[in-house]
Amino acid sequence: MPEKAKPQVVKYGDVTQRVGVEVIRARGVDVEKLIKMLIANAAAEFASTYYYYTILRMHLAGHEDYKEICEDARLEDRAHWELIVPRIYELGGELPNDLPAFHDQAGCKAAKLPDPPTAVNILTLLLESERCAIRSWIEICDLTFGKDPRTYDMASRILNEEIEHEAWFIELLAHERDGKSIPSGHFRRGEPGHAPYSKNASFYNP
């Protein structure tokens, strides 16, 4: 005898609701809050970091090693942005159709070129930007753990890279500012923008 069908949350053929959303809501995820947080994090990855890191790396002239590492962080933040956006739409959200409005949703301050743009000032800014990103992504992990495996997996992969970025900038800043060796424990990426966690089996991530 076939098992009695469970009550459907989403009606047969209904395209206005998503089972993929309702099942995580049923498990306790505040989907609307999650969408807001993902938009804020997408804005931080794209507007607060990717865009401004583009400028920061230009001003690390004479420090080619720092420049390369800044470039790795920049491209990986772009990979994060590419990873987050599909998930926002899957959940039923959408990006603001206005770039300044999008920029203003970021939960981390824009990494604008410091004055004066010394290597120490730039590395300090990079370090604090990565720290804000870690705090933001672990919040998404906490919100989704055990309830929304797809978002959790994505957030966890991004968090992995943000934690590595923090370690890089601690190492470089300690060396540049304090003359100290505080190893990150890492070596260079395979190629710029390698993004070993966030480009591994991505949703759509050119």
Closer CB to other proteins, residue 37 or residue 73? 37
Tell me which residue has tokens 């730039």.
122
Span 176-205, contacts to other proteins by CB under 8 A: none
Tell me which residue has tokens 């994090």.
41
Question: What x/- string results for residues 127 through 166 when contact with other proteins is judged by CB under 8 A?
Answer: -x--xx--xx--x---------------------------
Closer CB to other proteins, residue 127 or residue 195? 127
Residue type, 120: V
Helix ranges restricted to H, 91-148: 99-103, 119-144
* Least CB distance to other proteins at residue 15 (A): 16
Span 108-127, contacts to other proteins by CB under 8 A: 108-109
Among 51-59, 99-107, 167-175, 189-197, the segment contacting other proteins (CB under 8 A): 99-107
User: Is there binding between residue 40 and other proteins (CB under 8 A)?
Assistant: yes
Closer CB to other proteins, residue 106 or residue 170? 106
CB 105 within 8 A of CB 48: no
CB 151 within 8 A of CB 34: yes
Closer CB to other proteins, residue 173 or residue 195? 173
List b or e across 56-79, with b for residues whose CB sees 16 or more CB atoms inside 10 angstroms: bbebbeebeebbebbbbbbbbbbb
Closer CB to other proteins, residue 92 or residue 193? 92
User: Is there binding between residue 14 and other proteins (CB under 8 A)?
Assistant: no
Q: Which of 32, 61, 183, 186 binds other proteins (CB under 8 A)?
A: 32
Strands (E), the chain: none
Structure tokens, 22: 């309702």
Structure tokens, 83: 């990873």
Q: Which of 14, 65, 94, 178 binds other proteins (CB under 8 A)?
A: 94
CB 69 within 8 A of CB 186: no
Neighbouring residues of 1: CB distance < 8 A, sequence distance ≥ 6: none
Residue from 119, 130, 121 nearest 63 by CA: 119
Question: What x/- string results for residues 48 through 87 when contact with other proteins is judged by CB under 8 A?
Answer: ----------------------------------------
Contact set with other proteins (CB under 8 A): 31-32, 35-37, 39-40, 43, 91-94, 96, 101-102, 104-109, 128, 131-132, 135-136, 139
